[in-house]
Structure 1
Amino acid sequence: MLPPLALPLLLAGYLLGSIPSGYLAGRWLKGIDIRREGSGSTGATNVLRVVGKAPALAVLLVDVFKGTAAVLLARTLLDPSQTGTDGWVVAAGLAALAGHIWPVWLGWRGGKAVATALGMLLGLSWPVGLACLGVFLTVLTASRIVSLSSVAAAVALPLLMLAWFRQQGMDLRWPYLLLALVTSVLVIWRHRSNLARLLAGSEPRLGEARTGE
């Protein structure tokens, strides 16, 4: 049975995810449309390159918050004893990802969902979220390439989710595994142009100018 709040929570998740923090930072602080600058993404990495460090940190924190808030809102308002609640909580998180990638306010052209995905994971299973962050930071330290670090964390996500359930001795919650797989595919797909540049050896490192997130 469809919970009464299910559809409103999906809408709320999407609207939270679609808050255009990167676009607003560019517009408010420099009077630019960040989608026409750098990589064209509205994410924190492009804000870092185009607008500056402090705005990029603010955008990063807002984007993480969007994913966490969507999950926690659904988890708080839905009845945990009702069958299918896990699935609706996961769906609210995925709705936030969709909102970030395809925001209605910006003509469906947003960011690459890495920070929002991290926030969503922290809300659902914080150890898995922190493990993904650890993968990201490890690869970033070694390579100084944000896109490579993002893709590495995305590839690791389903494995980390499985490992978490195994370590805790819990039965696998299939909505969580499905979320991990869908999130991984979305993040990798959003980085397809970065992957092409990585293969060509032209993807910039952190601190260098121009494209890629």
Structure 2
Amino acid sequence: MTARPSALLDDLDTALLALAPIRRRILTALTEPASAAGLAEQLGLPRQNIGYHLNALEAAGLVQLAGERRKRGFTERLFVAARNYVFDPGMMQAPPDPDAVEAQDRHAADHLITTASTMVRDVARMRQDAAAEGSRLLTLTVEADVAFATPADFDAFTEEVSAAAAALARKYSAPSGRRYRLTAVAHPAVAKSAPARN
């Protein structure tokens, strides 16, 4: 069994458990299956210490059993961790007021942040479920850089994107089938750092 591609941390206690320095080292080392003894040798720590932390990580669902093997008359348990962890942004936010969300200005940064946070949480959960079922989660990401000479250009672009999205939604509106959420956002691009000179 190889490492899970990602795992969602949506519980504060579990997130804090994963953030402890020694446990972060263990999770990083477990991108490939390993035993407590193997980790102890790799990290230069006592096996009993590693075993204690592995038990806590397994109980929290942060690592999973990847198999067992016989070694020198003993049975070693092999563990594997996710390749990366996604922290649910909602852990640090108050639950949104549905009426307030509906009333949000589509240009409000708070609305974009709430929408992005919900997307991160929902997609991470669906990806976990799909992985557990042995299936693939079908998603689409489209990214492009645009530039506006004036605020009026931004407004015109907003109207064109909204109209195009509405037209596509009308075209692809089968009465049955898997529903998808299309979210289009625009925010100022982060300035790229200049390449370091040797």
TM-score of the pair, normalised by structure 2: 0.31
- Bigger Cα Rg: 2
TM-score of the pair, normalised by structure 1: 0.29
Higher helix share: 1
